[in-house]
Amino acid sequence: MSPRIDAAAAAKVLSGLNRALVVTHEKPDGDAFGSALALRDILVANGREATALLPDPLPVKFLKLAGTDYLTELDPAGLDRFDCVIVVDAAKDDRIALGGKIAWARIGKPVLNIDHHIDNAVSAVWSCVDATAAASAELIWTLAAAIPGWRIPPAAAQLLMLGIVTDTGSFRFTNTTGNTFRAAAALLECGANLEAVTNAAFFSKPLKQQRFEADMLQSCVRSACGGRYLYAVIPDELFQKYDFNMRDGEAIIDLLREIDGVVIAALIYRQLPDRCKISLRSKDSSYPVGPIARTFGGGGHEMAAGITLAGVGLEAAAEQLLRHITSTLEEHAL
Ligand SMILES: [Mn+2]
């Protein structure tokens, strides 16, 4: 882990950079690519050169908000024109998306790491990690707002709003703080279009996804611990039946979390032929899912975390998790 710097020091580093390459984690969500593209826009609006590199496809529903002004691949020689690399919203070196031609270990540039994951372990010269920020987008607003004379252009404000709205479930999750609302208010005043963000994030579900969700709720949900643990084991066939990819369904787990009495919710499905993906959510801070994810080699936030298990079938993964969560919920109940 790199030594940490606070937001004031990170703002100073940011204002001193001239030609930045901005990157984020693989399979970027709204906060990841929103933060990367917004930071690119902010740097450019304030007289710096900046380029974002996003090799992985973005969620379809956000394509309109993201525009097309970013790189999807870069050769090692292409790194020469940058004097630094800024990585946003990525907790681990091996999750940083560079497109396969560049190795993170041989990046050869000073790295500024800006993130809100409590377990961030990215190798960097400067690491600004604030786990109290609801989104990396909120932290980027905090940094940009702290630099005298810097402005946040409307396009950047909108992308930061997207990061905040998606990572807080539209200000419903417990990661929402006073600073989150301050950031959102300031971003509205900078020209963010909240209607466009909300429509893309919450009101643009394809019909096939709605049908997938209905079928999943009918056929895949299991209840344990008297309904305090609800989980869905989703077979490959269900994804095929509705031609649906989980990549576009980051909010699906909330269908379980929003049910009355649920403390911990989980989705268990196959990500690759030999890899199970488990998403975890909690709605009671006495039972955080971050430590559960870390027990299984995963990570994330305290109330929203994920695990990838290699070489394990869906049922075996579900069983392991069920045992662990049952003991967690029962242990604390005593
Ligand atoms: Mn985030």
The CB-side HSE value for 250 (13 A sphere, CA atoms) comes to: 22
Distance 90 CA to ligand 1 centre (A): 8
Q: Reduced to 3 states, what is the DSSP secondary structure of residue 115?
A: strand
Distance 237 CA to ligand 1 centre (A): 30
pLDDT in tens, 162-220: 999 999 999 999 999 999 999 999 999 999 999 999 999 999 999 999 999 999 999 99
CA distance 157 to 186: 9
Distance 135 CA to ligand 1 centre (A): 5
Distance 136 CA to ligand 1 centre (A): 5
| Burial label, 240 (beta-carbon count in 10 A; 0-12, 13-18, 19+) | exposed
Closest by CA position to 152, among listed 45, 70, 47, 51: 45
pLDDT in tens, 211-259: 999 999 999 999 999 999 999 999 999 999 999 988 777 789 999 999 9
Closest by CA position to 137, among listed 113, 117, 170, 115: 115
CA distance 28 to 56: 7
What are the angstrom distances between the C-alpha of 71 and each of 20, 26, 67, 100, 326?
13, 14, 11, 13, 45
The predicted model scores a pTM of 0.91
Distance 281 CA to ligand 1 centre (A): 15
Distance 96 CA to ligand 1 centre (A): 13
